[in-house]
A and B are shown apart, each in its own frame.
Chain A
Amino acid sequence: NAGVTQTPKFQVLKTGQSMTLQCAQDMNHNSMYWYRQDPGMGLRLIYYSASEGTTDKGEVPNGYNVSRLNKREFSLRLESAAPSQTSVYFCASSEIRGSTDTQYFGPGTRLTVL
């Protein structure tokens, strides 16, 4: 049981390049999330998927797109990377079960855009 996995762990891009961050979970959770974390700003929600087949914008969606490929996988795409997108990206998943709101996080992807 690996929990939430993310690839790659590190990535360096040039301005204007595109890339896709991959996320997968093996906990059979319905909901999945993408966050970015910048110094002094905590975690900010980029997009989320409450269930397979649905996606919604979070707090900072501009410059990103997502795909909920199936129940396990939720990918984040940067179509034209900008230096402002240099950040650490975390994927998370959760199951709304009674009063449980816990989200489980992947190890993160450290992205640098030059």
Chain B
Amino acid sequence: EDKVVQSPLSLVVHEGDTVTLNCSYEVTNFRSLLWYKQEKKAPTFLFMLTSSGIEKKSGRLSSILDKKELSSILNITATQTGDSAIYLCAVVWLEYGNKLVFGAGTILRVKS
């Protein structure tokens, strides 16, 4: 069965720390992997990664896909309290258009 596993499930860090969130997947006919940030309401899109292996960056956030390891990491440098959220990873199946399979998420709490 196709699945997406995120780790750690939760972590607490102090402002200024760097964190690395992991996402591994077992999905046949992989198409792309997406990262979302979810605060109190709806998930908001962060990055889309493909098998090209190109790193994506946005400010203090960056992400890359390792197609050999079937995994992706999301890095956040110089964390701020506003980074506290649930970070969701989702994988797109090639056969189903852009139907997403989500991981359970990583709960990140940044303490001041």
Contact = CB atoms under 8 A, between A and B. Distances in A.
Contacts of B43: 43, 90, 105
A96 interface: yes
Interface residues of B, number: 25
A87 to B, nearest CB: 14
A104 B43 CA distance: 8
Contact of A44 (B48, B98, B102): B102
Interface residues of A, number: 27
A31 to B, nearest CB: 6
Interface of B: 4, 6, 9, 31-32, 34, 41-45, 48, 50, 88, 90, 92, 97-105
Interface of A: 4, 31, 33, 35, 40-45, 48, 50, 58-59, 90, 94, 96, 99-108
